[in-house]
Amino acid sequence: MRIALGIEYDGTRFAGWQIQPHQRTVQGCLQESLSKVDKHATKMVVAGRTDSGVHALSQVIHFDTSSFRSERDWILGLNTNLPCDINIIWARNVDDNFSARFSAIRRSYRYLLINRTSRSGIYADRMWWVFKPLDEDLMQKAANLLIGYHDFSAFRAKDCQATNTMKTMELARVIRRGNLIAVDIVAQSFLHHMVRNIVGTLVLIGQGKMPVEWAKQILASKDRGKAGITSPPQGLYLINVEYHIRYSLPTVSNFPVPC
């Protein structure tokens, strides 16, 4: 039997998703909880790894088991053994051909910035504080140049292990609400640090330090050294992972406030 889980977590106190020696990780906490609830469960597969400090509102995993439990029992049993910064939000029985990673048809990320002269004591671990004024219209114009099927080599991390750098960005949207800015980016899959590197580039354009056309020039260069900085992890959220309707997985709409 294959079980899929929807998970939310606050990445602040985690060294990322993947298990690492002597580090507190999301995967490590989940596997420890799963081992207490079901000793017959196999290793979990995740939709996408997140870095240290990155949050998730709807991460998806699957695992195989010979145990029969209701969806409610999976949720309650696992949450009982999880720390307060990880929570199972749904559980579903799925077909054996379902893969949390390879069956995903779309992944949605949101990056949050607070744009004001003073830092925030409330959102310090939730947003990137940028104190210089940002022009969200310039940021949007630059983001529009990245939409479509492109080689995103210039926006990948140096240690990115992906063999295919061609990606299709379906959406790149910049939203401002007062002094808060959200950057929404949607694609089937992403390169390591791709969203954070794009946001770092858009911020320089929004500050007027670089022209809008710079985004297109970076893309064409395929050179990471030409792009902006890697934005800090605390502003990044994995919002949703979408699958074909035949799997009947829940639709999550709990976008982080306030955008």
The rounded percent of the chain whose pLDDT value lies above 90 is 89
Average pLDDT over residues 64-79: 93
pLDDT tens readout for residues 29-51: 999 999 999 888 788 999 999 99
Cα–Cα dist 121/69, whole Å:
43
Q: Domain check: are 11 and 86 in the same one?
A: yes
**Residue finishing a domain among 69, 103, 137:** 103
Q: Domain check: are 81 and 157 in the same one?
A: no
Q: 51 catalytic, yes or no?
A: yes
DSSP bridge partners of 88: 7
Cα–Cα dist 59/187, whole Å:
15
Position 119 in a domain: yes
pLDDT recorded at residue 171: 96
Which pair of tokens denotes residue 28? 């490590």
Cα–Cα dist 121/73, whole Å:
38
Q: Domain check: are 47 and 64 in the same one?
A: yes
Position 86 in a domain: yes
Domain count, the chain: 2
Q: Domain check: are 77 and 23 in the same one?
A: yes
pLDDT above 90 for 6: yes
Output the pTM of the full model. 0.94
Position 251 in a domain: no
Catalytic residue among 10, 51, 151, 184: 51
CATH number at residue 54: 3.30.70.580
| Residue pair 181/174 in contact by the 8 Å Cβ criterion | yes
Q: Domain check: are 178 and 110 in the same one?
A: yes
Cis amide leading into 258 (omega within 30): yes
Which pair of tokens denotes residue 131? 């104190």
Q: Domain check: are 121 and 176 in the same one?
A: yes
**Residue finishing a domain among 73, 103, 133:** 103
Of the pLDDT bands very low, low, confident and very high (cuts 50, 70, 90), residue 11 is very high
Which pair of tokens denotes residue 110? 């949101």
Q: Domain check: are 119 and 181 in the same one?
A: yes
The strand ranges marked E within the chain are 2-9, 45-46, 55-64, 86-94, 106-114, 128-129, 148-151, 166-177, 180-187, 236-242
Domain that holds residue 23: 2-103
CATH number at residue 172: 3.30.70.660
Q: Domain check: are 137 and 55 in the same one?
A: no
Position 237, amino acid: Y
Cα–Cα dist 139/209, whole Å:
12
Q: Domain check: are 10 and 81 in the same one?
A: yes
DSSP bridge partners of 33: none
